[in-house]
Structure 1
Amino acid sequence: MTADLPAPGVFRRLAAIVYDCFLLFAILFVATLIPALLFSPDIMGNEAANNSVVHELNSPLEGGIYRAYLLSFIIVFYGWFWRKNGQTLGMQAWRIKLESHDGSKPSWGQCLIRLLVAIPALGFAGLGYWWIWLDRDGLAWHDRASKTRLRSVPKTAKNNRNG
């Protein structure tokens, strides 16, 4: 169905990432707020802590466990959207859809591989994204690694409201 649709360019991909980062920031903020309120009694009304300018968070909000906790939110965020309809909110706004090479929805394994390879693809000055200009199929590093691809979704015709 979408196999004949063109792949989106680098800038559309990056614009969708920026959109998604705003939503993901809000989700991670709330995810951080929950353990901060649960494990930091100083935040919950300790007057000595309220008189100081800087509040320190307790140890449950630092280290590897906390990073894994936040990473699980990121994996579920992208995985849920990609598995549900192939699009995050940013991808919907920029009319981009993710699919497996056979045109089906990506599996959880493909979503995880895609995320794990996208981190260095973006981290090396975006080289994994700029790579689509060199790739014969227009695929980024994480597209190749996860056996997925992005497709541009055409605009839908709007209803004529004359009358």
Structure 2
Amino acid sequence: MPRRFHDAEELLPPATLLKRALAIIYDGLISIAVLLVATWAYTMVGGWITGWDRFEEMAEAGQLSGDPGLTFVLFLVLYVFFAYFWTRIGQTLGMQVWRIRIENLDGTSVSWSQALRRYVTAAAIFFIALLAGYYVGPITLLITLPAMIALFMPINGLSLTDRLSNSVVVQVPKETK
């Protein structure tokens, strides 16, 4: 059941690009820690299942490089991490710091499927930028960077991830005491 953050009639202002960017940076740092822990757990389970001696031989031979299982697990862990916060309270830790929230247009929390659409869209944009920098080169990446930023930049208050997930990122008002 979706959580109601405010009345449907109450419209909160859309979050600014600066606040979105700062929250992305903050959450990116937290994501690195989450990915490190998930990689450690994956390695421990892999070593236990395979046997530590065999696992060490595989690692030294380079057979564990580019493991698609690890890639899938890390992608899934990050989705669960972000979707949990987005569906529960509408805010990741970085979003809480910068007082912005993801919600539906009627002021309710987003669903897991909306969170999945938002996550996959953001991941696709990130990987396109990463691949462009790797294959095309850093100079060309600097030229295409404004186009990538435009995908996240809100137009009429909605970014591409907002449109595809049918949600909006709003500024949360300060609580009065």
**Length-normalised TM-score, structure 2:** 0.72
User: Alignment partner of 2:25: what SS?
Assistant: helix
The unaligned stretches of length 5 or more in structure 2 are: 1-5, 130-144
User: Alignment partner of 1:79: what SS?
Assistant: helix
In our comparison, the structure showing a higher alpha carbon Rg is 1
Match of 2:173 in 1: 154
Match of 1:141 in 2: 160
Q: Which structure's residues are more often helix, by fraction? A: 2
Please tell me the root mean square deviation across aligned C-alpha atoms, in Å. Answer: 2.6
Return the alpha-carbon distance in structure 2 between the equivalents of residues 95 and 118 of structure 1.
Answer: 20
Shift of 1:57: 8.2
User: Alignment partner of 1:97: what SS?
Assistant: strand
CA deviations over 1:88-138 (Å, ceiling 9, x no partner): 0000000001101222110000000001111234445323113x2xx2x22
**Length-normalised TM-score, structure 1:** 0.78
Moved more, 73-82 or 99-108: 99-108
CA deviations over 1:3-37 (Å, ceiling 9, x no partner): 42111111110100111111111111011011223
List aligned pairs for 1:1-163, cutoff 5 A. Answer: 1=6, 3-40=10-47, 41=52, 56=60, 59=63, 62-122=66-126, 123-124=128-129, 125=145, 126-130=149-153, 132=154, 135=155, 137-157=156-176
Shift of 1:73: 0.5
Indicate the structure whose relative CO is greater, using CA pairs within 8 Å and at least 6 residues apart.
2
**Percentage of identical aligned residues:** 32
Q: Which runs of 4+ in 1 moved over 6 A?
A: none
